[in-house]
Amino acid sequence: MRTRTSAQHHPHDDAPDTDQAFRRLAALPPGHQRDTLREELVEAWLPMAERIASRFRSRGESYEDLRQVAALGLVKAVDRYDPERGHAFESYAVPTVTGEIKRHFRDHMWTLHVPRRVQDLRNRVRTACQDLSQDVSDRWPSVGEIAEYTELSEHDVQVGLEALESFSALSLDAEAPGSDDGYSLGDVLGACDPALDVVVDREAVKPRLEALPERERTILYMRFFKDMTQSRIAEQLGISQMHVSRLINRCCHQLRDEVLQDVA
């Protein structure tokens, strides 16, 4: 492939002259000759794709992965380009490759699914911060300054700033901030209180307990709240242990049936 000596139709002086090659590609039927020419075109324009990939190097993705994504976008551009439309290949390939890279960031780099609007706000805020930090003594610009620069509301700027901190998630095995003894984030997370599982049951049975005769309520209180044995309850109430057992069983079955009847 030859390189153009004039940038009349291409933004870059080193853009290869592939106009005739693309016309031949469009006219060739599927086969070895067409595949070979297609590969030559991809190879000829690969430096341009890598140049586009380099613009995204500071966004948390490895350059090698970005090169592969850009190459994929270039292949799509070669396959879809129609020379009969009269536009230079580069004017079609640049937005195609750039879009492929941006799609990669949107679909693969976010740990959690984030709405596209929030992703767009993040990108606008990030770019504004980079631009403004050069003009404000290298300090982080304020929300008001970013809003004025981007013509966004301060609320949208806040959303974009929060998204800047949400691009990736920390592992629960990561060391806790400020920890000198090896504690991980997982070590400081709370756990569900097992008692919460019985809150609903207690609230459901409470009015039924209040409706029981006083002696039955007393026996259930002594058994399940004071954790007394049936023998100890029988001794205090002056009745047999077997009678205490029968009363406890009868009351428990009655309460259960009443609660289940309400649920049904």
- Where residue 179 falls (left for φ over 0; alpha for ψ -120 to 50; beta otherwise) is beta
Report the 3 state secondary structure along 43-98.
HHHHHHHHHHHHCCCCCCCCHHHHHHHHHHHHHHHHHHCCHHHCCCHHHHHHHHHH
The reported pLDDT for the residue numbered 245 is: 94
Could you confirm whether domain 194-263 is CATH 3.40.50.1220?
A: no
CA–CA distance, 53 with 38 (Å, rounded to integer): 21
**Within the chain, which residue ranges are assigned CATH 1.10.10.10?**
194-263
What's the distance, Cα to Cα, between the start and end of the chain in Å?
Answer: 80
Q: How confident is the model at residue 264 (pLDDT cuts 50, 70, 90)?
A: low
Query: 2-108 — its CATH code?
Result: 1.20.120.1810
125-146 mean pLDDT: 75
The reported pLDDT for the residue numbered 60 is: 66
95-112 mean pLDDT: 76
**Of 116, 125, 112, residue with least CA distance to 151:** 125
Q: How confident is the model at residue 172 (pLDDT cuts 50, 70, 90)?
A: low
**Within the chain, which residue ranges are assigned CATH 1.20.120.1810?**
2-108
Instruction: List pLDDT tens digits, range 146-156.
Output: 899 899 999 99
Say which CATH architecture domain 111-169 belongs to. Orthogonal Bundle (1.10)
Instruction: List pLDDT tens digits, range 21-60.
Output: 999 999 999 999 999 999 999 999 999 999 999 888 766 6
Q: How confident is the model at residue 14 (pLDDT cuts 50, 70, 90)?
A: low
Percentage of residues in the chain having pLDDT higher than 90: 34
Question: 105 or 234, which is more confident?
Answer: 234
Question: 170 or 246, which is more confident?
Answer: 246
